[in-house]
């Protein structure tokens, strides 16, 4: 017998997150955690602006004499386009990094150019080996975990690490926004930095080893985490960022073209988050996003409930997009359907860094020491 579904009484997170916990008020750990971490956001705009000014001076000082003083990631989306404009306004000298995984819409490529060219920002594009990346994406679909976007995310971070090391840049200006993306469900996607997980899934379903994919070596990962290299700056949290007015500004001032939805600059991300995740796993990522908007008082809970009641993907798009994705991945429509029907698996069902005996113990020790040191100080 399945447990009855429970939904938070403050946000709209529910028991589709298997690890969710509710308190006596019926409030969940996600919104409670959001408010606990919202201290910085509660600071006045003047104070955040002052702190940003101090940080920008530090970034300029450390970047003096180098080709660039910070890295920015660009996807052609609203947030990363705004970060590019803002860092130039702040007088920084960014290098833009873009990962081409073979799924970007032409509009995205055009939008990147429309923003970067007039700002005179250099662009470094990392083009993934399509044949191998296609096999890797297919392996992740066959693995039946909800982590099929992990290879793309891993390649982006690996490219930041590579650019930061090549140009000796200490800072990465990030477009992730606590006000709109501050809630994350681990079970819905994990292993972003886990090279062992990616290698093991690829090997299990192809019987081959990855040759071209930009994996982050464990030694690099540990070194960069311990040394905070490069330092991530969540730029949008320092500002009163408003996505809708930013979008209007991008269109009027830069000729930027609208995609019509979040993550629609990549066809695979759109289909994966909009159809595969809800259909196969029952995970609707809009729930995290809308819950964060409730916490930051940008919408009411009733408005969010109304929005989540609309199907996550337009029903008339499902069939043509399914055929397109199957064809691009090099499988038949029938094989795609059988992958969708395969039993669900979890991150922990595959060899990964967390369940590697030495790394896992090292991680436990690191967490313990971090906790103790924090407690002592």
| Interface contacts to Zn ion, rule CB under 5 A | 8, 10-11, 13, 28, 31
In the complex, minimum distance from the CB of residue 1 to Zn ion, in angstroms, rounded to a whole number: 25
In the complex with Zn ion, the residue whose CB is nearer, 31 or 143, is 31
By C-beta, is 30 or 262 nearer to Zn ion?
30
284's torsion region: left (phi>0), alpha (psi -120 to 50) or beta? Answer: beta
Nearest to 81 by CA among 109, 41, 111, 122: 111
Q: Is 89 exposed, middle or buried (0-12, 13-18, 19+ CB in 10 A)?
A: exposed
| 234 DSSP β-pair partners | 174
Q: Which is nearer to Zn ion, 26 or 118 (CB)?
A: 26
Q: Cβ closer to Zn ion: 6 or 348?
A: 6
Contact 265, 111 (CB under 8 A): yes
Closest distance of CB 12 from Zn ion, Å: 8
Q: How far is the CB of 39 from Zn ion (least distance, A)?
A: 18
Q: In angstroms, what is the minimal distance from the CB of 16 to Zn ion?
A: 13
Cα dihedral 368/369/374/377 (nearest 10): 140
- CB of 31: closest distance to Zn ion in angstroms? 3
Query: Assign residue 76 a region: left if phi > 0, alpha if psi is -120 to 50, beta otherwise?
Result: left
Closer CB to Zn ion, 28 or 158, in the complex: 28
Least Å from the CB of residue 309 to Zn ion: 18
Judge contact between 326 and 336, C-beta under 8 A.
yes
Contact yes or no for 136/154 (Cβ under 8 A): no
Whose Cβ is closer to Zn ion: residue 28's or residue 121's? 28
What's the distance, Cα to Cα, between the start and end of the chain in Å? 48
């Amino acid at each position: 017998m399945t447990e009855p579904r429970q939904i938070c009484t403050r946000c709209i997170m529910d028991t589709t997150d298997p690890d969710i916990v509710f308190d006596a008020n019926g409030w969940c750990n996600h919104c409670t955690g959001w408010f606990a971490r919202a201290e910085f956001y509660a600071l006045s705009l003047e104070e955040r602006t002052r702190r940003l000014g101090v940080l920008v001076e530090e970034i300029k000082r450390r970047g003096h004499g180098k080709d660039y003083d910070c890295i920015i990631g660009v996807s052609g989306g609203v947030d990363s386009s705004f970060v590019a404009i803002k860092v130039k306004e702040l007088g920084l000298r960014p290098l833009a990094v873009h990962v081409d995984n073979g799924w970007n819409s032409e509009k995205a490529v055009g939008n990147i150019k429309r923003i970067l060219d007039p700002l005179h920002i250099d662009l470094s594009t990392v083009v993934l080996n399509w044949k191998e990346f296609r096999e890797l994406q297919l392996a992740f679909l066959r693995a039946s975990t909800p982590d099929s976007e992990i290879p793309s995310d891993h390649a982006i971070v690996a490219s930041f690490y590579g650019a930061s090391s090549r140009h000796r840049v200490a800072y990465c200006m990030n477009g992730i926004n606590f006000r709109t993306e501050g809630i994350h469900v681990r079970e819905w996607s994990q292993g972003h930095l886990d090279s062992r997980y990616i290698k093991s899934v690829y090997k299990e379903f192809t019987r081959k080893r990855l040759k071209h994919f930009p994996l982050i070596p464990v030694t690099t990962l540990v070194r960069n985490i311990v040394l905070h290299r490069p330092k991530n700056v969540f730029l949008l949290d320092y500002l009163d960022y408003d996505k809708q007015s930013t979008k209007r500004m991008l269109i009027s001032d830069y000729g930027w073209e609208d995609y019509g939805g979040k993550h629609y600059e990549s066809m695979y991300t759109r289909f994966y988050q909009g159809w595969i995740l809800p259909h196969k796993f029952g995970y609707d990522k809009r729930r995290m996003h809308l819950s964060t908007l409730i916490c930051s008082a940008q919408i009411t809970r009733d408005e969010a409930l109304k929005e989540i009641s609309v199907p996550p993907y337009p029903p008339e798009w499902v069939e043509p997009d399914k055929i397109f994705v199957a064809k691009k991945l090099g499988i038949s429509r029938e094989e795609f359907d059988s992958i969708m029907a395969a039993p669900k698996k979890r991150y922990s069902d595959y060899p990964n860094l967390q369940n590697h005996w030495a790394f896992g113990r090292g991680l436990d020790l690191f967490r313990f020491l971090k906790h103790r040191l924090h407690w002592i100080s």
